[in-house]
Amino acid sequence: MNKEIVIAGFGGQGVLSMGMTFAYAGMVENLEVAWMPSYGPEMRGGTANCVVILSDQKISSPIINEFDTAIILNQPSMEKFESMVKPNGEILFEASTILSPPTRNDIRQYKLPANAAAQSLNNKRIMNMIILGAFTQLNPILHDTSIMTALKKVLPERHHHLLPINEKALHRGKELIYR
Amino acid sequence: MNKEIVIAGFGGQGVLSMGMTFAYAGMVENLEVAWMPSYGPEMRGGTANCVVILSDQKISSPIINEFDTAIILNQPSMEKFESMVKPNGEILFEASTILSPPTRNDIRQYKLPANAAAQSLNNKRIMNMIILGAFTQLNPILHDTSIMTALKKVLPERHHHLLPINEKALHRGKELIYR
Amino acid sequence: MAKIKGHVTIRTENCKGCDLCVHECPQDSLQLSTALNTSGYPYAVLVNDTCTGCTNCALVCPEAVITVFREGKKKPIAILSHVTENITVDITS
Amino acid sequence: MAKIKGHVTIRTENCKGCDLCVHECPQDSLQLSTALNTSGYPYAVLVNDTCTGCTNCALVCPEAVITVFREGKKKPIAILSHVTENITVDITS
Amino acid sequence: MTEPLIEPQHIQCENLDQMDQVWTRPETLIDRKLHYCPGCGHSVAHRLIMETIDELNIQETTIGVAPVGCSVFAYHYMDIDMQEAAHGRATAVATGIKRVLPDRIVFTYQGDGDLAAIGTAETIHTINRGENIVIIFVNNGIYGMTGGQMAPTTLPGFVTSTSPNGRDTHTMGYPLKMAEMISVLPGAYYVTRQAVHSAKSVRKAKKATLKAFQYQMDGKGGTSFVEIVSNCPSGWKMTPVESNQYLDDEIFDFYTLGDIKLPPKE
Amino acid sequence: MTEPLIEPQHIQCENLDQMDQVWTRPETLIDRKLHYCPGCGHSVAHRLIMETIDELNIQETTIGVAPVGCSVFAYHYMDIDMQEAAHGRATAVATGIKRVLPDRIVFTYQGDGDLAAIGTAETIHTINRGENIVIIFVNNGIYGMTGGQMAPTTLPGFVTSTSPNGRDTHTMGYPLKMAEMISVLPGAYYVTRQAVHSAKSVRKAKKATLKAFQYQMDGKGGTSFVEIVSNCPSGWKMTPVESNQYLDDEIFDFYTLGDIKLPPKE
Amino acid sequence: MSEKLLMKGNEALAEAAIRAGLKGYFGYPITPQSELLEYLSHHLNNRGGSFLQAESELAAINMVYGAAGAGVRTMTSTSSPGYSLMQEGVSYIACAEIPCLLVNVVRGGPGLGTIQPSQGDYFQAVKGGGHGDYKLIVLAPDSVQEMADFVYLGFDLADKYLMPVLILTDGALGQMMEPVTFPDYDVEKNKVDHSSWATTGKLTSRSQNVITSLHIEAEKMEDINIHLQKKYKTIQENEVRYEAINTEEADIIIVAFGLVARVAHKAMENANKKGLKVGMIRPITLFPFPTEILLTLSEKVDQFLVVEMNAGQMVEDVRLAVNGKIPVDFYGRMGGVIPQPSEIVDKLIQMDSSKTHSK
Amino acid sequence: MSEKLLMKGNEALAEAAIRAGLKGYFGYPITPQSELLEYLSHHLNNRGGSFLQAESELAAINMVYGAAGAGVRTMTSTSSPGYSLMQEGVSYIACAEIPCLLVNVVRGGPGLGTIQPSQGDYFQAVKGGGHGDYKLIVLAPDSVQEMADFVYLGFDLADKYLMPVLILTDGALGQMMEPVTFPDYDVEKNKVDHSSWATTGKLTSRSQNVITSLHIEAEKMEDINIHLQKKYKTIQENEVRYEAINTEEADIIIVAFGLVARVAHKAMENANKKGLKVGMIRPITLFPFPTEILLTLSEKVDQFLVVEMNAGQMVEDVRLAVNGKIPVDFYGRMGGVIPQPSEIVDKLIQMDSSKTHSK
Ligand SMILES: Cc1ncc(C[n+]2csc(CCOP(=O)(O)OP(=O)(O)O)c2C)c(N)n1
Ligand SMILES: Cc1ncc(C[n+]2csc(CCOP(=O)(O)OP(=O)(O)O)c2C)c(N)n1
Ligand code: SF4
Ligand code: SF4
Ligand code: SF4
Ligand code: SF4
Ligand code: SF4
Ligand code: SF4
Ligand SMILES: [Mg+2]
Ligand SMILES: [Mg+2]
């Protein structure tokens, strides 16, 4: 198993911690993991993204140009990453922010109303968790318990009261797929 | 002809301009010349010296450790340079400042009362010129006229009224030898 | 009403939803959208016709996306009309 | 004379003939030599017995070569004597 | 599950062409999406400078210097000749330009980390020489570009990524008031502290900027120094609105707004 | 031709051992010929510091930092642990030492080129942090070591090897009053300007030095800054006596002697 | 051994430094290094050391000079432009023989460049970016784990040889998160007595300790240089570290360090799958450079391929080591671009076929 | 051609700079370079340029960046520690492609070292002391005359290739006086039009000129690097300068630059008198290095001897050029000591006899 994922949006959408949650969960499951953020001034008002690799082999290079999965949270990121998805790969994207959906037809596309779903759960911040849920539904490589363990590590202590709503979001995300 | 000379004393005694006068005079006579000062913090209250090379061939290196002639104006300089005079070379030294005269007997020594002679000409600053005179008397490679031309270049314009007394000093220096 | 009639146009695609214009408008004429522009930001919209063209919003707008208009002395009165832009989001899976 | 008797010793070999002590001495007790020490400098010498041990010279001496003495209350009076150090310079050629 | 998000109604004007356009972006401000975070004062400061250049009609003679900091890409937005400078060295670069092209208008645009930390020596000596340039000093009390570390200008107690318990003046020193400090130098000609967080402050800051450039054009001799106390919503971990409120509530008490040194004649 | 040079008569004292030795060089001043030019104030300043260390009995706990400048060889004369610092960085080096050995007494000994030109940023930030160290600042208005170039502290009109027509404030700036400038920093605890050109000034300077070190020992918090306005006979192209006269006649008018900032309680 | 943690390379390095007994840290923010500084600002003061954000890199390196000169474990970290600013200070520290740890999290240059990872500072690190003849021990980690491990090694070597040790890493290794564990390291046991030279206060029982790099007389300065060169020779003889993979059967040996070594490793595997015989040497110490093994291998293999994220820097040291015995080829990407395994494989295939052609 | 003057190397260089049309000079005092600064402070302002004593070398190099970026002939000068401080700036200038002249009057390092002459900064000059992949054209004069001559050449090359040119000289050449004459040089004729990139004010007739070294995207930054490397290649092909002496009949070739070349020249003469067959190559451009001639000669001669005033730096470039074809020996003095001809002769004799032995 070797899963190469990019998560992209703009700074402030929480793409980095979303990736970290992936990576931590992978580590919990004893996978080899690497997490690589974009960094620096790109992040000022522009795009932010991170790459997560989950693998059962040693990871040679954390810097990759092709991905199995792209999780896309805004239009500029779509423009940047659509072409980098491997044939037969998948793109999960937030529905409301994407004007022009992907045009490739050699990949699977999932248009997720995560923003709306988050608002219906009365918490904008859990949009990420909803998408993470959708991803795990599509790619059953991480157990929910691992993800929640990971989230505990990633979330600062003072936000631990948000764990239940996040768990809810995770399931909400899964539902978006299996419905 | 290749003459390698060191002139050494402490900062303020005018050893550098003395050397420059040599070099300029050499150039006037179409010799190859090089002048190399000691420089930097050594000069703060310590010793100051310069090396002059006069030659009828291209000068390969201006940095030398052995000299045909050493002109020595204080005791620390004597200690530093006595050993660097080539066998059969010569040391000219100012009499009053040297407590321990050179001990080598493979070189010629000239103990010159230049300070006293300068004072008797009522000008401490011409001590150097007296010694230069003595040198040219011993080493007839530079004409008096070349030296005076050189001095004109080396002395700032505002000191040109001192040229006559310097010429006198030059001759006084020669006398110190041929007397 | 002695108030001068004003109007603003906003290039919403370059708006970053900072909310500063909304807070700076003395007429409460601006609001942020709940929908997002393609950069992912909510954006400012003019929500009523009380704008006086005071330029406050434009002066604080970091993105310089607001242009302000004001009724000139000799110019006819601006005719304002309501336009609704509904953005509907579908779930696709 | 109510003045305290003082005295200074000077390590002339380390003196640089800066003349500062000479100028600072309120008693005009110091002078520079015309002869030079082995470094090539003239050096300060105590030239009379009016020194009060005020330490001025020592305080300004950059080379810290002056040591100052003063008649103590219980100490016997210092006996001063003149010593001449002539330095004679020969011409050798 | 389809829950449409309704936009607020957007008012449109049907006879816009018959109204006066009373405000729009300056022409020399290049029309390009700014890379700054939402609500960042840098953008406003940029605009003010370009308005000034437009109004003084000096686009052809002005050379700008922006060092690294969030505003490192200033040349993407300012349609004038520009030099990007190394961190802290903007005033040295500007000095170089002004010395060989004395009839050009030269300004620097610097952050507080740049001007008051690594560039302290250059700042002080440039002003001490009275270089006839304009320094625009955007003081947001933090290192914005590198992600919110403490700056020399950070207020006591303020939490940043390198002062996790708040700036402790005992070990990290006190916020430096550069404007006051350099105002004692004879080379400082005009020193002012402004803000751009409200329409009112923007109007004032604009006047100050205009004056500063005008002084340079007049060749009055001396450096004009325009400090703009600004926000950094990202670094401060506040919304833009909160950050501007914070300026009013906390920061201006310490960094008092207003002119600090006026030219002799005024 | 033999003209003997007659020495002035040197008075000797026959019963010296019965007199009180009221003044001699401090023990921690290493007995070695100083390399300074005749009449140079550096030598006196060295001695004052060593007297202070002797009197406070802190030889075992004191660490000195001297950067390049004529006083670069300070460690040849000061019998304490010392670090030679790069040009301008003495206070950074001292900060490093003090931060890891907070119970030691740390001082820097810096020239004006060092402290006020290349080291400006370090000077200001060290003091702004209120590092509990002593800075001895020997201001001779020139770059002595490198042969008499203009320093930031050089007076207007003064001729140096790089201001051949005298310092022109229009192009070369104004002499920087570092002591005044840094005294506004909260981290500056004690700031004083002294001289060592006369017995009287030496006595005062000694008191100031003692105070500065004592404050550090008391850990009062803050930097003590002792400026010593001094001469550079070689760089100024004057005799030592002339140079000291020049201090009195010209320099102290600009660099006024005396305390500039006293600790809060005094 | 600590539990396995997921950490950024920069943070792992910082955590290791604390565990290695760091007493003084002085640094300045710069991407992609800032997390290192930030981590220490959060944790060092509580764990026995002193953290200070300096006003510049220049100040930072000179604070290191001071603190390390006082005999305690001291460190700074920066990225390329900041490291350039430290060159004077580094030269001073090397000459004054002060042990300390420097970290350069390299980004793409020259100039302000980019913040993406690079190896463009190899020459600066290894040939001495500052003035004069000096060297640093240079360690090149290739993983977050080594980012941590080399801190201990670095401090130990610094203390042993009284010189600065540089960890030369890059933005990707600094920014990425990988699992890491921290070894048990006994600070007290590894402590070296520096009282003979460190400036801690001149006790009456000893003569003064002076830290200086100034020796005005050329002869004296030459002695200092001879001493330094002797030390560097000892280090070259004793401290070379490298990793050799598949060198037994190889026709082509890839030489790569740091992050690139990981990419090259993947390329080697892929190439071997395609039937090429490729091995690899990963220099861990860039100075001392693993000259000897390369020379030895040059007797056995056909070609070397050096892969770097620069225009070709370490390749010179490889060529110097091999001294013309066999061809040394180069593949590099610049300006922050990381080569992909496939590019290297292509290069290997091309080398292999050209060899066959020439046969 | 001017009359023959007796001048210090530093002063001759300064005078030549004025004659070459120097418009901006920014520098800071340091021994043994200060006369250069002083000379310009006396003469530049009256002769069409602008002199400014900066507050530091850091400020100076960045003033150069600014002024040279404005398209005029600009220069700074310093000595080793000061040049180390300029490394960040130099890297910026190289990347931003700004033409200017830099002078390093080298003294013995590392650290504060000594003020005596040295060649210890060869690596720093040639491999790039700053971060990233960049190069300067490096000129090495060996006499006061060349100190002057290379100023014109330096400015012309800088303008031609849009890059900094470094004159790498040493304290002895800077301080010594020798006769010098100044060629006729027509500033106007040699003027290069920089209006396409220099920041002189954005006329409405053109788009903005921006000077920057920042390219955040790695791919863009790589393009910049590719462009730079291409330029360096062109320079390597077209601008190599060296002096070849007695290379026809030689068994041993001495390679030496700058002051040492003069000493080596004397040694060569003396050795030839003793019956050895010694020739000499004096690299004048250190980058571009005269690689080709060395390679060519390696087919004809038995051995190379590199002589330097350092621990062995240029010798690496000679070895890289020769690539193992024949032995390359080294003789060096360090820390400000200048080798004497006799030492080199001894070394040559030893090399010659060891060769005979091995025959
Ligand atoms: C020599 C050097 N050191 C550090 C950096 C990293 N750096 C870039 S900008 C910056 C400071 C940004 O703060 P500020 O100047 O206040 O500007 P802001 O982003 O807050 O507007 C730093 C430290 C650098 N580019 N170069
Ligand atoms: C980086 C660097 N630049 C320049 C120098 C040369 N230098 C040595 S001391 C000095 C200044 C001396 O002036 P100051 O600090 O006033 O000390 P002074 O000699 O007058 O006591 C300079 C410029 C140096 N050693 N290092
Ligand atoms: S112009 Fe004034 S009134 Fe109109 S929207 Fe803007 S701030 Fe409100
Ligand atoms: S101020 Fe400008 S950017 Fe901010 S919300 Fe209003 S229009 Fe948008
Ligand atoms: S102690 Fe006083 S009185 Fe005596 S010599 Fe010295 S200055 Fe003169
Ligand atoms: S003050 Fe000291 S050095 Fe100067 S002349 Fe007097 S004794 Fe000599
Ligand atoms: S980080 Fe701060 S200063 Fe930089 S763009 Fe964002 S808000 Fe503005
Ligand atoms: S040059 Fe000046 S400061 Fe230096 S020792 Fe001489 S007199 Fe003193
Ligand atoms: Mg800031
Ligand atoms: Mg000074």
Domain-embedded: residue E263? no
Q: Residue F214 belongs to a domain with what CATH number?
A: 3.40.50.970
Return the residue in G26, G38, G40, G107 with the most chain E beta carbons within 10 A, the one to mutate for interface testing.
G38
Judged by a CB distance cut-off of 8 A, whether residue E144 touches chain A is: yes
CATH at residue H320: 3.40.50.920
Residue-level pLDDT at D88: 32
Residues H50 and H185 in one domain: yes
pLDDT tens-digit series, residues G149-199 = 999 999 999 999 999 999 999 999 999 999 999 999 999 999 999 999 999
Interface-testing mutation among A96, A120, A122, A137, with chain C (most C C-beta atoms within 10 A): A96
The pLDDT score that the predictor gives to residue B47 is 72
Q: How many domains does chain C have?
A: 1
List CB contacts (< 8 A) between B119 and chain D. 34
Residue H263 CA: distances (Å) to CA of H143, H148, H172, H260: 12, 20, 12, 5
Q: What is the mean pLDDT of chain C?
A: 80
Which residue range forms the structural domain that includes residue H270? Answer: 242-358
Mean pLDDT (chain G) is 96
Q: Is residue E228 within 8 Å of E196, Cβ to Cβ?
A: yes
Residue H30: pLDDT band (50, 70, 90) is very high
* pLDDT tens-digit map of D22-79: 999 999 999 999 888 887 789 999 999 999 999 999 999 999 999 999 987 644 443 4
**What pLDDT does residue F265 have?**
73
Average pLDDT over residues E81-85: 98
Cα–ligand 4 centroid distance for H244 (angstroms): 70
Least confident range from A63-67, E117-121, G89-93, H69-73: namely A63-67
H304 and H341 fall within a common domain:
yes
Of all protein residues, whose CA lies closest to atom 3 belonging to ligand 6? D15
Number of domains in chain F: 1
Q: Angle at the Cα of D62 (from D56 to D66), degrees rounded to 5?
A: 55
Pairing mode of beta strands G252-255, G303-308: parallel
Residue range F11-38: mean pLDDT, rounded = 90
Reported as half-sphere exposure (CB side, CA atoms, 13 A), residue G171 has a value of: 29
DSSP H121: T
Check residue B39 and give its pLDDT: 74
Q: Is ligand 8 within 6 A of the CB of residue F37?
A: yes
**Ligand 8 atom nearest to CA at F147:** 1
* Same domain membership, residue H278 and residue H218: no
Arithmetic mean of pLDDT, H204-224: 95
Spatial distance between the Cα atoms of E86 and H246, rounded to a whole number of angstroms: 48
Please indicate if any CB of chain C lies within 8 Å of the CB of E5: yes
The overall average pLDDT reported for chain H is 96
**Full residue range of the structural domain in which residue F174 is found:** 34-257
CB of A177 less than 8 A from some CB of C: yes
CATH, residue C37: 3.30.70.20
| F4 belongs to a structural domain | no
Q: Indicate yes or no: CB of G175 within 8 angstroms of CB of A63.
A: no
In tens, the pLDDT along G276-299 reads: 999 999 999 999 999 999 999 999
pLDDT value of position G356: 57
Closest by Cβ to F37, choosing from B44, B113, B179 = B44
Residue nearest to atom 2 of ligand 3 (CA): C54
User: Over 80: is that where the pLDDT of D16 sits?
Assistant: yes
- In this prediction, residues B53-62 reach a mean pLDDT of 89
CA atoms of A59 and F247, how far apart (whole Å): 72
Residue G335: DSSP 8-state: T
Please indicate, yes or no, if residue D22 is contained in any of the structural domains.
yes
Strands of C6-10's sheet in order across: C6-10, C66-70, E20-23
Residue E112, pLDDT > 90, answer yes
Kindly tell me if the per-residue pLDDT of G359 is higher than 60: no
Let me know if residue F15 belongs to a domain.
no
| Nearest protein CA to atom 7 of ligand 5, as residue | D25
Phi, psi for G29 (deg, rounded to 5): -65, 140
Chains touching D (at least 3 CB pairs under 8 A) are B, F
User: Could you tell me if H302 and H325 are in contact, meaning their C-beta atoms sit under 8 angstroms apart?
Assistant: no
Which pLDDT value is given to residue C74? 47
Token look-up 């004001």 returns C70
pLDDT above 50 (res H254):
yes
Structure tokens at C31: 């609001």
Closest residue to E130, CB basis, from F152, F173, F184: F173
Nearest chain B residue to H341, by CA: B61
**Claim to verify: residue H219 and residue H288 sit in the same structural domain:** no
Task: Report which of E228, E254, A34, F43 is spatially closest to residue D18, judged by C-alpha positions.
Answer: F43
Has residue C12 been placed in a domain? yes
Separation of alpha carbons E66 and G292, rounded Å: 49
How much is the ipTM here?
0.95
Residue H213 has pLDDT above 90, yes or no: yes
| Rounded-to-integer distance, Cα H39 and Cα H321, Å | 40
Is the pLDDT at F213 greater than 50? The verdict is: yes
Query: pLDDT band for position H206 (50/70/90)?
Result: very high
The percentage of chain H sitting over the pLDDT mark of 70, rounded to a whole number, equals 98
A127, A110 contact by CB (below 8 A): no
> Cis (ω within 30 of 0) for the bond into G110?
yes
Say if the Cβ atoms of H127 and G127 lie within 8 Å. yes
H187 CA to chain F: closest CA distance, Å? 26
Average per-residue pLDDT in chain E?
A: 94
Interchain CB distance below 8 Å, E128 and F176? yes
Query: pLDDT confidence of D82, banded at 50, 70, 90?
Result: very low
The CATH number for G232's domain is 3.40.50.970
What is residue B45's predicted lDDT score, i.e. its pLDDT?
A: 56
DSSP assigned state of G107? B
Both G197 and G249 in one domain: the answer is no
Q: Do chains A and B touch (3 or more CB pairs under 8 A)?
A: no
CB contact set of E62 (below 8 Å; sequence gap of 6+): E53, E80, E81, E104, E105, E106, E107, H201, H202
Alpha-carbon distances, residue F20 vs A32, D9, D44, E63, F15 (angstroms): 83, 13, 22, 73, 11
pLDDT digits (tens, 9 = 90+) for H158-172: 999 999 999 999 999
Q: Per residue in H299-347, pLDDT tens?
A: 999 999 999 999 999 999 999 999 999 999 999 999 999 999 999 999 9
Q: Which amino acid belongs to residue G294?
A: L
pLDDT at residue B64 in the model:
87
Region H70-79: mean pLDDT is: 98
Lowest-confidence range among A170-179, G254-263, H199-208? A170-179
Residue F41 Cα to ligand 8 midpoint, Å, equals 8
Q: How does pLDDT run along chain A (179 residues), one tens digit per residue?
A: 899 999 998 767 788 999 999 999 999 999 999 999 987 655 555 678 999 999 998 888 888 889 999 999 988 899 989 999 999 999 999 888 887 889 999 999 999 999 889 988 888 788 889 999 999 999 999 999 999 999 998 898 999 999 999 999 999 999 998 76
Share of chain G above pLDDT 70, in %: 98
User: Domain span at residue C23?
Assistant: 6-79
For ligand 4, whether the C-beta of C16 sits within 6 Å is yes
* Residue C78 confidence class, pLDDT cut points 50, 70, 90: very low
* CATH class belonging to B2-178: alpha beta
Q: Does G124 lie in the same domain as G92?
A: yes
**Sequence-distant (≥ 6) Cβ neighbours of residue H325 within 8 angstroms:** G324, H295, H298, H299
Q: pLDDT per residue over G193-245, tens digit each?
A: 999 999 999 999 999 999 999 998 899 999 999 999 999 999 999 999 999 99
- Could you give the number of structural domains in chain G? 2
Other CB atoms within a 10 A radius of the CB of residue E31 amount to: 11
pLDDT at G357: 54
Q: State the pLDDT at residue F9.
A: 67
Weakest mean pLDDT among A96-105, G164-173, H6-15, H249-258: A96-105
Q: Please report the beta strands in H234-315, taking only residues with DSSP state E, as ranges in sequence order.
A: 242-245, 252-255, 278-283, 285-287, 303-308
Mean pLDDT confidence for H110-120: 96
State if residue G85 touches ligand 1 by the CB under 6 angstroms criterion.
yes
Say if E21 falls within a structural domain.
no
Cα(E115)–Cα(E69) distance, rounded to whole angstroms? 10
| Predicted local confidence at residue E9, as pLDDT | 67
- Over residues H184-193, the pLDDT tens digits come to 999 999 999 9
